[in-house]
Amino acid sequence: MKLLLFLLLTLCAVAADKPTEIKGGNGIVLPVPPPTEAKPVTETIHGVTLTDPYRWLEDGKSPETRAWIAEQTRYTDEYLSQVKIRPEIIDELSKLERVESYSIPEERGSMYFFKKRLADENQGSIYLRRSLTGQDERLIDATKLSADQNTSIQINDISKDGTLLVYGVRSGGADEESVHILEIDKTDAAKNRELPDSLPTARYSGIQLSPDEQGLYYARFDPTGTLVFYHKFRSPASADQLIFGKSINGETLGPMELIGSEITENERYLIISVIHGVPPKRVDIYVKDLRQPDSPIRPIIHGIDNRFTPVNYGDDLYVLTDYQAPNYKVVKVSLADPQPDHWTGIIPESTDVISGISIVGGKLFATGLHNVVSETRIFSLDGHQTGRIEYPTLGAATELYGREDSSEGFYSFESFIIPPTIYRYDVSTGKTEIFAKPTVPFDSDQYEVNQVNYKSKDGTYIPMFISSKKGLKRDGSTPTLMWAYGGFLVDMNPTWNPEFAWWMAHGGYYAQPNLRGGGEFGEKWHQAGMFEKKQNVFDDFFGAAQYLFDHKYTSPERLAIRGRSNGGLLMGAAMTQHPEMFGAIWCGYPLLDMIRFQNFLVGKWWTAEYGSSDDPTQFQYLFKYSPYHNVKPGMRFPAIMFNTGDSDTRVDPLHARKMTALVQADNASDRPILLHYQTISGHSSGVSITQAINDTADELSFLWNEVTGTK
């Protein structure tokens, strides 16, 4: 009887803790979230019994799930309709986003190909400039490809003489694309014509014209593994010839091996890279001599558990690698004699990471990071440094793109407070000039970027950028936005983002820590945040927040955080491990169920970073931090917006659906828990500018409203 009474009192106490209404920032009031039916599925994994109450939400196409999404969308719209600043955000974001923008040009046959989006357009189109100072001629008008203008295009390849353009068409934010070919008349644009050849919608890479321009080589990602094909023009895609895949050198290649193909600039070789895992723990390089049609595909680098990125010059490969060099080095490999003990050192490893190389105008350009700031050094092909490209300030630069026999190259430079500008670099003189610069209504001179260092939980020093208007007060009350990633060797550079610019323009701080798991300091930095060491990434993030509190930048209730994909997993860890540290969380396209992620879409790729619950040892640490499995009844969550969409063909939207239902059910605070779900949005870029502005405005409206207003 006493036990029964105790249980009844406990249940009443829990029920009393549940809010009866939801209170957002600045006076927003909502009913409690729409209830989600629990349909428990219980299973035992490696001796641990787990119950999943929302397994049914994994089926994104079922009528029940679609009805649930519709109800959640109505609930989120009810919140957003009450955010008074949202119209202002849309207006100001539109001014920052709706500017003329260019991609880095590619020179072919003394002509320049690039993407350009006019200020009033929703998509970038493909253009041709017949000389460096010539008029821009639109080749493919992306704005006419779909009624909702959520169809985008990209340049895949251009023939050496500039008469054939291979381009891809992508719907919304999906990874998949269809492939098309435009024949270009060198003197009369009216004579340009679409060729009948095309490739159906799929996940492709390395789409390139054959040297004789009679077909395409391409890699296609299939459920059983990546395959490399040759498509002969005027023949059906179903008849394409399989060039590479399935097995090589006695090894069976499956879904964990991603394969890329590339034809060298001199058109002598087809280079095939076999990437084992994402990120790769090993990269194998194979070569086929295209001058001899019947030549075999030969292994050049094989069976070494390191990463290799080749650039061809003549009959050699210049290879960027972390082989015996965690911060990367460059070696020269002879295709005639590729044995490792015959490799020639070109650029040795140093304390600074090399992230990319290119050969332009007979010189070797190595772009990397010095304390997370871009630097590009210039070398002769035998490895003597001859100079460097000078950048205007602390920021992020791309590699130099150009042709090995050309005297010009192009790169882009940007910073948190400087929009991307494309430069033309003269290899012979070292001079730079602006090729394209957007006119953005943002006065960079009013802002500043600082870099600080703080200690993580284990004593490791972590760098962090902090940007704001000059002279901004530090009294702990300033709304602050923090974004981070921490994984997959991804560098978090100081790059431009209109969302962050808006935040700073409205008097907030923007912070970006460089967590372990990224590639900012080489492979050792990456390894310190993967597999069983993933908790280091989360601790680095919590340390960044604590630094902001200790140094009076902001306070927990004023701190908004955001992350997407692997960064969405970081947000999941933040809300389940330290919900008290944050005022609002935007969790985009996230991985959250770390026990089942490998079973959906391309999740198996990421077992090379996280491990897999199929392994008993890896299950233990995954289960320990898996956000979906660490939501407990009675937790008091901050305001949270989960974001995903049907067109995410990379991270399955089931993660956001299930986590939304679970957090809503178990939340003991009265803060809003929302799901922002778009049927056309996905992991990749490609939605219209109108759609992108509206989606970003929804995110900013939520985050700003929740950390600036009284609750």
Beta strand 308-313 with 316-321 is: antiparallel
- Number of Cβ within 10 Å of residue 571's Cβ equals 27
Bridge partners for 635 per DSSP: 667
- Residue 231 makes CB contacts below 8 A (sequence gap 6+) with 197, 199, 215, 216, 217, 218, 237, 240, 241
- For 629, other C-beta atoms within 10 Å of its C-beta total 20
Rg (CA), the chain: 26
Alpha-carbon separation of residue 633 from 53, 576, 666, 667 (angstroms): 13, 11, 5, 7
Is 506 one of the annotated active-site residues of the chain? no
Catalytic entry in 355, 683, 684, 688: 683
Q: Is 16 helix (H, G, I), strand (E, B) or coil?
A: helix
Whole-angstrom distance, CA of residue 82 vs CA of residue 298: 63
Backbone angles phi, psi at 340, to 5 degrees: -55, -35
Exactly one of 565, 612, 626, 669 is catalytic; which is it? 565
Cα dist from 130 to 77, 185, 338, 609, whole Å: 48, 11, 41, 45
Three-state DSSP at 706 gives helix
Residue 207 and residue 210: Cα distance in Å, rounded? 10
- Residue 592 has φ and ψ, to the nearest 5°, of -135, -30
Please say whether the beta carbons of 486 and 567 come within 8 A.
yes
Could you give the CA distance from residue 305 to residue 284 in angstroms, rounded to a whole number?
9
Six-digit token string for 280: 């790769």
491 close to 518: Cβ distance less than 8 angstroms? yes
From 439, 433, 449, select the one nearest 393 (Cα to Cα).
449
Report the Cα–Cα distance between both ends of the chain, in Å, rounded. 42
Q: Which residue has 């630069």 as its token pair?
A: 397
- Calculate the CA dihedral of residues 224, 228, 232, 233 and round it to 10 degrees: 80
Q: Where are the beta strands (DSSP E) in 254-294?
A: 257-263, 269-276, 282-289
Contact (Cβ atoms closer than 8 angstroms) between residue 548 and residue 517: no
CA dihedral sign, ordered 194, 199, 200, 203: negative
Residue whose pair of structure tokens reads 């280091």 in the numeric block: 536
Q: How many residues does the chain have?
A: 711
Q: Bridge-partner residues for 424, per DSSP?
A: 410, 433
Backbone angles phi, psi at 511, to 5 degrees: -120, 140
Q: How many CA atoms lie within 13 A of 89 on its CB side?
A: 25
* Catalytic-residue membership of 565: yes
Looking at residue 520, the DSSP 8-state letter turns out to be: T
Cα-Cα-Cα-Cα dihedral sign, residues 93, 94, 99, 104: positive
DSSP one-letter code for 596: T
Question: In 3-state terms, what secondary structure has residue 547?
Answer: helix
Q: Are 703 and 52 in contact (CB under 8 A)?
A: no
> Residue 349: CB partners within 8 Å, gap ≥ 6?
325, 326, 327, 328, 329
421: nearest Cα among 430, 433, 429? 433
Strand-pair category, 639-645 with 584-588: parallel
| Among candidate residues 391, 372, 374, 378, the one with its CA nearest the CA of residue 347 | 378
Name the residue type at position 562: R
Strand 164-171 relative to strand 396-397, pairing: unpaired
Q: Which residues belong to the active site?
A: 565, 683
